């Protein structure tokens, strides 16, 4: 997606540890026009999948997730990272190791919102090692629903997440793929 690639090129800042900071349009300040285009593009790519739910993870997945759900005219659910006050039997729980925070968090989704028969599109802002996407997929599967695809705004293709998800049989669509962040420079795949 050229618009997004231009934005990454112009505004992305490479941090140490192979992390890309895009806080001017995705991770802090958000660009609603760009997010709307992201939603349209995921909708175009997954139009034949009869998606019934979009699932993402707070907080940076919410903007691309809600725009995709709006375009698809389906509900969006975001997995929570905080401990929920809800009774444990009412929620799906999975452990996810956070690439950026280097700690394991529990993510939770209420059982009310994903049901057997749902066709779920997972959306997230970044793909690195695939931990977040795998955790979300395990929640969908716990619910007896189906993951019909994984839509990623920015994939760091030099990290193994994309390959691991494809090997596990998931269809991954990334709008921008980065081959390297070496020497503080973004090189696209
Ligand atoms: P994974 O779970 O695939 O290892 O990492 C993806 C998650 O970690 C995303 O939800 C995202 O929030 C965060 N993440 C991973 N790499 C980056 C990065 O380079 N920049 C930012 N801003 N977030 C990242």
The answer to whether the predicted template modeling score (pTM) of the entire model surpasses 0.80 is yes
Domains of the chain: 2-76+115-188 (3.40.50.2020)
Strands 19-21 and 13-15: what pairing? Answer: antiparallel
How many CB atoms are located within 10 Å of the residue 50 CB?
Answer: 10
Ligand 1 near 99 CB (within 6 A): yes
Helices 62-72 & 32-45 angle (0-180, nearest 10): 50
151 annotated as belonging to a binding site for a ligand: no
- Mean pLDDT over the full length of the chain: 95
Query: Percentage of the chain surpassing pLDDT 90?
Result: 91
Residue with tokens 């081959």: 179
Question: Minimum mean pLDDT among 51-65, 80-94, 96-110, 134-148: which range?
Answer: 80-94
ipTM passes above 0.85: yes
Substitution site in 60, 78, 100 for ligand 1 pocket (most atoms within 8 Å of beta carbon)? 100
Ligand 1 near 124 CB (within 6 A): yes
Distance 42 CA to ligand 1 centre (A): 19
pLDDT, tens only, 177-187: 999 999 999 99
């Amino acid at each position: 997606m050229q618009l997004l690639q231009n934005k990454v090129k112009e505004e992305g800042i490479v941090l140490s540890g192979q992390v890309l900071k895009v806080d001017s349009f995705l991770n802090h300040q958000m660009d609603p026009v760009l997010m709307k285009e992201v939603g349209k593009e995921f909708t175009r790519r997954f139009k034949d999948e009869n998606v019934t739910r979009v699932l993402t993870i707070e907080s940076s997945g919410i903007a691309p997730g809600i725009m995709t759900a709006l375009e698809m005219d389906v509900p969006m659910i975001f997995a929570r990272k905080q401990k929920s006050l809800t009774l444990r039997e009412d929620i799906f729980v999975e452990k996810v190791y956070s690439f950026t925070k280097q700690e394991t968090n529990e993510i939770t989704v209420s059982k009310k919102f994903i049901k057997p028969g749902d066709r779920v599109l997972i959306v997230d802002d970044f793909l690195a090692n695939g931990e977040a996407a795998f955790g979300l997929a395990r929640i969908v599967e716990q619910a007896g629903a189906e993951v019909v695809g994984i839509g990623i705004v920015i994939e760091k293709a030099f990290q193994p997440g994309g390959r691991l998800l494809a090997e596990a049989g998931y269809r991954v669509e990334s709008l921008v793929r980065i081959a390297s962040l070496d020497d503080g420079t973004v090189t696209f795949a």
